[in-house]
Amino acid sequence: MTSKVCKYPSVFLSFLRPCYCNVFLLLMTMLMIAVHQASASNAPPQTQPTVLILYGRVSNLQSNTTINKGLLSALKVAGVDERYQYQEYLDLARHPDPDYRRELTRFLKIKYSGVRFDAIIALHRDAGDFMLSEGRELFSDTPMVAVVSKRLESMPQGKRRIVQLVYSLDAFSTINMALALLPDTREVLVVSGATEDDAPYLGNAKDALKSYEKKLSVKYLASESLPEVVKEVAKARDHAIILYTRLIKDASGDTYLPTAALAKVSQSSTSPVFGLYDSLLGAGIVGGDLLSFEKLGKETGRLAGALIAGQADLEHVISFTGHGPMFDWNEMQRWGLQKSRLPKGSVLINYRLGFWEQYWKYVIISLLFISGEAVLILYLIWNRNKRFQAEAGRKASERLLHSYLSNSSIVSWMKDEEGRHVFRNDTFCKRFSAQPNDWQGKTDFELWPQDIAEEFRRNDHQVLASGNTLETIEPVVEMTGETSWWLTTKFLFKDAQGQRFVGGLGIDITQLKKVQDEADRQHAMMTEVINATDVCLVYLDLDFNFVAVNNAYAATCRMRPEDMVGRNHFALYPGEEVEDLFRQVRDTGVPAYIRERPFEFPDQPERGVTYWDWSLIPVQGHNGSVIGLVFTLLETTERRNAQEERLKLERQLQDAKRMESLGILAGGIAHDFNNILTAIIGNVELALLHSDTDSSVRENLVRIEKSAERAADLARKMLAYSGKGRFFVTPVDLNSTIEKLAGVLGSTVSPKAELLFDLTKPLPLVEADPDQISQIITNLVANASESLGDQAGTINVTTSWQDCDLQCLERSKFSESVPEGRYVLLEITDSGCGMDQETQGKIFDPFYTTKFTGRGLGLPAVQGIVRGHKGAIQVESEPGRGSRFRVLLPAGGLEGTCMSSLS
């Protein structure tokens, strides 16, 4: 916006980088002070009331234009002449940094050092906050009118008298008017910006819509970028309206004029758009109960006049309620809305009046025109004198500016629209050994190499075409042939005749660029090194968001590094325990190291449980505080599995060695013991042959013979355990063997036990010793019966055959490894007391028994027999749930099938 009463507005360039901002601000401040002092001699003497108007925002806001319309007219009514109305656009929203605000304060203090203000007007909360903080000492005894949307709490009065003019919005009345125009409305979309500055407007809408929670569906579009909002409102909807509050900055950080953002929304919308204030009329809203910024400006000017007049009855806080029904006839026709539904007293813009309604004012004005000619001539004479004074001040400012640029340490130049050089300061000439006559009127193509000249000209054209300032980095070939790099700022400049020029300022950043290039090279090298390692590595910020991710980590998560950056670690992999550990490292600064931590990927269940070595290391800043976390992981699943497999093999080897040692011992004892028993039994039999039947010693000899036979049976079991027993191998049908033993087995089990048979037919034959197989069955059934004790239960004898792989055979804990292949299975299952893991580990040890009496060689003998037949045993048992013994014997063929059944 260009104000008609703006006196020497402040210029604060936002395009400079932070490293040069302070230097440039200082130079520009000195320049503006000189300009102000040079022109002060031409300013009219200060004999009338003087007002300083501070805008918190930029000058091109439509709301500023509307407020000015009422404000300036009210100030004129209050006796403040245009020449004594000073305006400053502070642009605080785009420059929140304290350095800018402090420099702005110093600039205003110096600029207006010779001016005494009778009143200050602070428009927008930004300006009010600025005057209460950094500007509290500016014109401290001058009263102020602060125009704010929300009351400034605890505002100190001090030497300065402050009146707050608090304006409010009325979204509730706007919604009511919209529903009156569109009674079938069922949905409301609220469009708002994402900044704190937009929050009061959005909050007013939310408070108003609470009354419609049950009647209307409400959707807030405040967390999306403007393109996303435009895409959303463009969707086809039935019976919907849009409430536009204000949008200065969207969720993506892009800034807009509120009217420009509204125009995009309105043009794409499939539903009518309503607003909250009158500066939006004509930009795309239908209307509503709108806050009148023009009336707000008039009230502000009235209060400023009252302060100047010294009225003491003004309240500290004044509420402004200047709302009214206002509508755009073009938008009403676009959506087919009826004028008859508008509230009484509504203001319509763009309404097509009849000829007399439209032109009666012009007729009256025409009649008055002649009488006003004399006044106009007088005004033109006065204005001409004023223009002459301004021209004299401008020429003085130009001379001062030329002197400043010629002696500045910054390289500066100016070219016309054709690219011909018309000015270079002394610094430029010294830096590039340029004589004025050598450069004057020449183009870049006559002075620089072709490629560099083309880049210069391309940037100049961009400034001429857009009219905007351009900041860029350009290369320059020195007299030595080396290339230097310059941070240049190019801007459009016009002289008094309107001729356009391209001005430029340059700062040598060659050394800075070399440092930056080296830093980029080091960063690229470190990135390459980090991505080349197999260790998973990430860098997290203090909220545990991914800042950097190497390829190994991303590949483990089956994602790309660029897709992970910015996402939260615990959004991907939740875990309260792990999150507590991360917080502990972040808060204490003490690193954490964890070995072989188990983890299951929620999105990769096929991987099962994996194991990882962790390191979580805090990264500290210059002041010692934690600024991030380095998280590294190394998968140890294969290493852990290999260790477990090695331990398993070691245990199996130890068990095999132990069993082998016991077998050798048992076999040796049984062999020698059997030889002794052979002599005893032979001598007893000879003694029985030569003794009389009625001899008293015969009974003793019989008892000796029976004891020797039991000892021989014990020896046979020990030989069976050792695997050195004599086997008479022949094809055996396991079903036939069981059926032959059925009667014997039934008599040996407990009377309360129920013996059941489930025999699979046909069944492959096994190459085995029939007597040894019978001993296996008898011992296992007897063992099952003993597990029942005096309790009732069942004993199941089952046969089957199966093709076993290594995974199946690995469950055979008590036998040597056997090859894959087809096996005949004998299962003995009972419902007895069962065994714990410790007992299961000892049941095949010689002489181990859980009974009060007994030799404890039944199951070891079974193991020895099975081992001798190249078979395997599997045991499953739990305390209180019975036991299952499975004997696996290598199968032959399907011959010799037993067809008989058990009776």
Residue-wise pLDDT tens digits, 429-485? 777 776 766 778 888 888 888 888 888 899 899 888 888 988 888 888 777 777 888
pLDDT of residue 541: 92
pLDDT of residue 22: 46
The sign one gets for the Cα dihedral 109, 111, 116, 119 is: negative
| Calpha distance 531→283 (Å, rounded) | 52
Can you give the length of the chain in residues?
Answer: 903
Picking from 636, 591, 595, the residue whose alpha carbon sits closest to that of residue 616 is 591
Residue 693 exposed, middle or buried by CB count within 10 Å (0-12, 13-18, 19+): exposed
Location of structure tokens 């545990």: 544
Q: Kindly state the tokens that stand for 482.
A: 């080396």
pLDDT of residue 864: 77
| Calpha distance 96→249 (Å, rounded) | 14
Picking from 558, 647, 550, the residue whose alpha carbon sits closest to that of residue 606 is 558
| Calpha distance 146→164 (Å, rounded) | 5
pLDDT of residue 26: 46
Q: In the sheet where 546-549 sits, what is the strand order?
A: 546-549, 536-540, 626-635, 609-620, 592-600
pLDDT of residue 671: 66
Strands 144-148, 187-191: pairing kind: unpaired
Buried-exposed string 2-18: b where 16+ CB fall within 10 A, e elsewhere:
ebebebbebebeeebee
Strands 144-148, 119-123: pairing kind: parallel
Q: Cβ neighbours of residue 719 under 8 Å, at least 6 residues apart?
A: 666, 667, 670, 671, 674, 725, 726, 864
3-class DSSP state of 467: coil
Location of structure tokens 């302060």: 307
pLDDT of residue 892: 77
Q: Cβ neighbours of residue 551 under 8 Å, at least 6 residues apart?
A: 531, 561
Strand ranges (E), 509-608: 536-540, 546-549, 592-600
Strand ranges (E), 535-648: 536-540, 546-549, 592-600, 609-620, 626-635
Q: Kindly state the tokens that stand for 486.
A: 């310059």
Phi, psi of 763 (to 5 degrees): -130, 135
| Calpha distance 638→52 (Å, rounded) | 77
Which residues of the chain have a pLDDT value below 70?
A: 1-46, 153-158, 353-360, 363, 367, 371, 390, 393-409, 434, 436-437, 529, 532, 649-668, 670-672, 710, 712-727, 813-817, 846-858, 893-903
Q: Give the dihedral of Cα atoms 37, 43, 46, 50; nearest 10 deg.
A: -90
| Calpha distance 698→57 (Å, rounded) | 130
Q: Kindly state the tokens that stand for 544.
A: 């545990």
pLDDT of residue 661: 61
Task: Tell me the pLDDT tens digit for each residue of 42-83.
Answer: 445 557 899 999 998 777 777 788 888 888 888 888 888 888
pLDDT of residue 25: 46
pLDDT of residue 288: 92
Phi, psi of 348 (to 5 degrees): -115, 130
Picking from 426, 476, 436, the residue whose alpha carbon sits closest to that of residue 456 is 476
Q: Which amino acid is present at 664?
A: I
How far apart, in Å, are the Cα atoms of 224 and each of 188, 193, 235, 243, 251?
17, 9, 15, 16, 5
| Calpha distance 149→164 (Å, rounded) | 10
| Calpha distance 292→285 (Å, rounded) | 15
pLDDT of residue 896: 38
pLDDT of residue 571: 87
Q: Kindly state the tokens that stand for 511.
A: 């050394």
pLDDT of residue 149: 81
Task: Tell me the pLDDT tens digit for each residue of 377-387.
Answer: 777 778 887 77
What pTM was estimated for this model as a whole? 0.39
| Calpha distance 776→741 (Å, rounded) | 11
